[in-house]
């Protein structure tokens, strides 16, 4: 990436605030664009953790049901 890209002002797809520097992938909250560091830390990462915890819980539940039958 060029220095120009890093210094370019961008708009966060989540809060619509302006930021410069590297943007973050906003998935699973948005399918496109970049989000700012604050939204990444406050919204995106906690959502990913919650989704993984839910996936793990569902997997354990499915395994426990299979053992019970």
pLDDT in tens, 29-38: 999 999 999 9
What pTM was computed for the model?
0.80
Q: Grade residue 11 by pLDDT with cuts at 50, 70 and 90.
A: very high
5-38 b/e (C-beta count within 10 Å ≥ 16 → b): eeeeebebbbeeeebeeebbebeeeeeeebbbee
Specify the higher pLDDT residue, 48 or 62: 48
Q: How far apart are CA 41 and CA 61, in angstroms?
A: 29
Neighbours of 66 (CB within 10 A): 8
Q: How far apart are CA 69 and CA 61, in angstroms?
A: 13
Average of per-residue pLDDT values in the chain: 92
């Amino acid at each position: 990436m060029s220095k120009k890209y890093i210094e370019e002002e961008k708009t966060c797809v989540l809060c619509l605030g302006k930021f410069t520097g590297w943007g973050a992938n906003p998935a699973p909250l948005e399918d496109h664009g970049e989000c700012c560091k604050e939204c990444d830390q406050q919204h995106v990462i906690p959502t990913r953790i919650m989704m993984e915890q839910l996936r793990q819980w569902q997997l354990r539940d499915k395994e426990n049901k299979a053992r019970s039958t």
